[in-house]
Amino acid sequence: MRSPRLGFLFALGLALATAAFAADGTGGFTATLSSEQQTAAGLTRLSADEQTALNALVAREVSSPARAT
């Protein structure tokens, strides 16, 4: 049985990679996802302000250098 969390993490990883190429001011990370992906990730429940905050966080994360863990 496939874990829903695994699917979400895969979609999130794919979206983060895509967001790096979509940082041209046309909606950010959330705009790179299909309607199905947005629904699966629960993004359709977020307000416009919450989506804007999420887009800013993703943009900052994608643009920052990799951190050693």
Query: In what helix (H) or strand (E) does residue 57 lie, and over which residues does it extend?
Result: helix 48-63
- How large a percentage of the chain has pLDDT more than 90? 30
- Return phi, psi of residue 2, to 5°: -80, 135
How far apart CA 14 and CA 6 sit, in angstroms, is 12
Model confidence at 61, in pLDDT bands (50, 70, 90)? confident
Region 7-26: what's the mean pLDDT?
Answer: 64
The answer to whether the pTM exceeds 0.85 is no
What are φ and ψ of residue 36, in 5° steps? -65, -40
pLDDT of 12 reads: 72
If you average pLDDT over residues 12-32, what whole number do you get?
68
Asked whether the beta carbons of 14 and 4 are under 8 A apart, the reply is no
Indicate the average pLDDT of the chain. 78
Burial classification of residue 18, based on how many CB atoms lie within 10 Å of its CB (0-12 exposed, 13-18 middle, 19 or more buried): middle
